Amino acid sequence: MIRIIFYITTYLITTVFTFSQVKSKNILIKNDSIELPGTLTYLSKKTPLIIWVHGSGNVDRNGNQGKIIKANYIQKFREAITVNDIAFFSYDKRTSNPKNYKFFKKIVFEDLVNDVEKVIDYFKNDQRFSEIILIGHSQGSLIGMLASKNVDKYISIAGSANTIDKTIIQQVNKQNKQLGDITKSHFEELLNTGNIKQVNPLLISIFAEQNLPFISSWISYNPIKEIKKLTIPTLIINGNKDLQVQVEDAKLLHKSNSITTLNIIDKMNHILIELEKDSDNLKSYYSSEYMISDELIVSILNFINK
């Protein structure tokens, strides 16, 4: 018992000491008029740098969305990865920064890809870092594939293997088959005409008029086709408790490119949380009390360091 207490005490002291050595810097990156403020953290120089690519919605650098989603999962990932001497940068997505709103006439999918490319360009020749690893999470999985030409390694977390229309139809079908059929007809009308004359009120959050240019541009990219183009080391990760993206998606992405490595993580949900109870899955989106998956961190560290 004395030995166990000694080991725990030593671990806690070491962790606290390591956190005290972490360097943190706020950085503003601009894409023309769009401001992408972010946070860089690192322990030492000449280490790999991870750049995070967000999922859908107005996600900030810490993994929160407005006053509702307070999971803080990107910040938890930052802390776990930085103490293992891997530098980390995440930024406020253009849609989460109020300073950008006045420049929004319309947003298309390529704008988000271009934002990531600007961030990569900012760090590409930074001598503090030995290589750049891009992590694309959820929607960011596809964005990361498209933006990965100037990075050394790529990691997809919870990325769909289907085009976004098929993904959304699948998700709505799970809730309501009739509404799923209407969703399908809306997408068909959008693809054929570029517009939807009358949107079902229950689907307005998806098919609001201001969203249509973005959705139309997003549909044109197929994750299966895009991952086939990757020639850099690539890791594909999915949790088996993910309610939004299925394990089968990760398997399909892996099957499409023989150079990729696949890891299905037990008990991990869509926002990287390790679940002890299934009833906590949705709750974890609205609270920062839950811990991210240790296996996720180990998997990424092994991939980067091999």
Give me the residue spans of the domains in the chain. 23-160+231-305, 164-220
Give the pLDDT confidence of 129-166 residue by residue, as tens digits. 999 999 999 999 999 999 999 999 999 999 999 999 99
Res 10 pLDDT > 70: no
Q: 138-155 as b/e, with b when 16 or more CB fall inside 10 Å?
A: bbbbbbbbbbbeebbbbb
Nearest alpha-carbon partner for 147 in 132, 157, 160, 130:
132
What is the structure's pLDDT at 229?
Answer: 98
- Classified as helix, coil or strand, 90 is strand
Q: How many CB atoms lie within 10 A of CB 174?
A: 9
**Taking the CA of residue 96 as centre, how many other CA atoms within 13 Å lie in the half-sphere pointing to its CB?**
24
Q: And the tokens for 27?
A: 């950085």
Phi-psi sector, 256: left (phi>0), alpha (psi -120 to 50), beta: alpha
Q: How many CB atoms lie within 10 A of CB 267?
A: 15
Cα separation, 287 vs 88, whole angstroms: 23
What is the structure's pLDDT at 226?
Answer: 98
Give the pLDDT confidence of 166-202 residue by residue, as tens digits. 999 988 998 899 999 999 999 999 999 999 999 999 9
Pick from 3-17, 74-88, 113-127: least confident: 3-17
What is the structure's pLDDT at 20?
Answer: 62
Res 18 pLDDT > 90: no
Give the pLDDT confidence of 260-304 residue by residue, as tens digits. 999 999 999 999 999 999 999 999 999 999 999 999 999 999 999
CA 44 to chain centre: 25
Residue 7: pLDDT band with limits 50, 70, 90 = very low
Global pTM value: 0.91
Reported CATH class of domain 23-160+231-305 = alpha beta
More confident residue, 121 or 20: 121
- Scanning the chain, the segments in alpha helix (DSSP H) are 2-21, 73-82, 109-124, 139-146, 164-175, 177-193, 204-207, 212-219, 223-227, 247-256, 294-305
What is the structure's pLDDT at 14?
Answer: 46
Sign of the C-alpha dihedral, residues 122, 128, 133, 137?
Answer: negative
